[in-house]
Amino acid sequence: MTYLTEERRLIMDSAREFAMREVMPVANRLDPEKGDIPMELREKMAEMGYFGILIPEEYGGLGLGCFEYCIVAEELSKAWMSVASIMARANGLIGMPVMTEEQRRNYLPRMARGDFIGCVSISEPDVGSDVSGIACRARRDGESWVINGNKYWCTFADGADFMILMARTSEPSNPKRRHEGISCFMFEKPRGRFPKGMQGNAIPKIGYFGMKTFELAFDDFRIPVDSLMGKEGKGFYLISSELEKARAHTAARAIGCASGALDTAVAYAKERVQFGKPVSDFQGIRFKLAKMATEIEAARQLMYYVCDCVDTGRRSDKEASMVKYLASEMAERVTSDALQVLGGAGYTQLHPVERFWRDARLTKIFEGTSEIQLRIISDRLLA
């Protein structure tokens, strides 16, 4: 099957040119400072339509699919993975299928323009892979929901215009169905600060700069009653319905990090001279680069397949876990090998390979750890 149509190649080429011209210089300057993605870059992304790739045309988006979404994410990640991630904070809206028409017309056009970018708050201090263990509570009080509890790993919570929050509204009727009783909420918040009843502290990270990641505390935090997305107690299913797309997107980011590292390593190997000739002439380096390129392409082709499944409505939860696992594990190896090709230079901030290496390591953790992916794959195989 020919996945890369002429239209998709044009989208890919355009995203690659944008990443190298607009994103890479900003990343090289701000990532060492742990700086945030500047508004100017976000505005340029909005002009390219990147915040509305998955949003229907009738609401101001491009009306494209998971395939286009992921090829753009890969190209952006070749410069700075965080930029490909902030793109998801408009495109990957949990609950979009259950929005009312009024909500769609209120939110989606603003998201497509890049004026309305959100964050997602699911994990908690004691809740990571086991989402069914959510303890943060939402209690109905008249025309409000009152939120109490703590959340963790909420990236971009400070700069977001809205938040998607998972909280427990009731206890499960069956201990074996702990995921029941979890509800999904979406509410607006002031950009750049936390509203009354919500506090946030930034978590120190070793990478994934460009956006801060927060621990949040909710103390009688009130949101409107119509903040509930879908049916009460059924929020777990909203999360699950988006996992295939989310894991393909994470695979795309991992592949982008690996590709960016490979490009850096190839360029350096051609220029670096040792023993009177470029190190690219040595078989050890040549074969290392060849293996890196092969691993990247294998993960990319599986990603293309998963994206095609998502866009054509075929079930691909097993394959989505496979590509997330394969791509993230590959990205850690390839970025580490790229750093080795650069030698001591790779261990400095004078080259972007150390950024790719740090960011690639995270892809094995978020959107479900590698171990969780293996659990899903094996469950499907042995069901």
**CATH number, domain containing residue 257:** 1.20.140.10
User: What is the CATH number for 103?
Assistant: 1.10.540.10
User: What is the CATH number for 159?
Assistant: 2.40.110.10
Does residue 246 share a domain with residue 218? no
283: left (phi over 0), alpha (psi -120 to 50) or beta: alpha
Does residue 229 share a domain with residue 283? no
Identify the residue whose tokens are 């949040």: 216
Q: Is 102 helix (H, G, I), strand (E, B) or coil?
A: helix
Query: How high is the pLDDT of residue 91?
Result: 85
Does residue 65 share a domain with residue 97? yes
Query: How high is the pLDDT of residue 176?
Result: 78
CA 203 vs. chain centroid, Å, equals 18
Query: How high is the pLDDT of residue 172?
Result: 84
Does residue 28 share a domain with residue 151? no
Total domains in the fold of the chain: 3
Does residue 367 share a domain with residue 249? yes
Does residue 206 share a domain with residue 84? no
Does residue 107 share a domain with residue 23? yes
Distance separating alpha carbons of residues 219 and 104, to the nearest angstrom: 29
Does residue 374 share a domain with residue 247? yes
> Can you give the residue range of the structural domain that contains 257?
239-382
pLDDT digits (tens, 9 = 90+) for 83-114: 999 999 998 667 778 888 988 999 999 999 99
Query: How high is the pLDDT of residue 319?
Result: 98
**Catalytic residue chosen out of the listed positions 215, 295, 367, 371:** 367
Q: Mean pLDDT across the chain, nearest whole number?
A: 95
Residue 77 belongs to some domain of the structure: yes
Does residue 376 share a domain with residue 271? yes
Residues 6+ apart with CB under 8 A from 336: 357
Catalytic annotation on 367? Answer: yes
pTM: 0.95
Does residue 186 share a domain with residue 135? yes
Low-confidence ranges of the chain (pLDDT < 50): none
Query: How high is the pLDDT of residue 125?
Result: 95
Residues 252 and 70: beta-carbon distance below 8 Å: yes
Residues 6+ apart with CB under 8 A from 299: 251, 254, 255, 258, 323, 326, 327, 330
Residues 6+ apart with CB under 8 A from 91: 51, 52, 53, 54, 55, 69, 111
pLDDT digits (tens, 9 = 90+) for 265-297: 999 999 999 999 999 999 999 999 999 999 999
Does residue 153 share a domain with residue 62? no
pLDDT digits (tens, 9 = 90+) for 38-93: 999 999 999 999 999 999 999 999 999 999 999 999 999 999 999 999 999 998 66
Query: How high is the pLDDT of residue 1?
Result: 61
Residue 64 belongs to some domain of the structure: yes
The last residue of a domain, from among 83, 112, 141: 112
Does residue 164 share a domain with residue 60? no
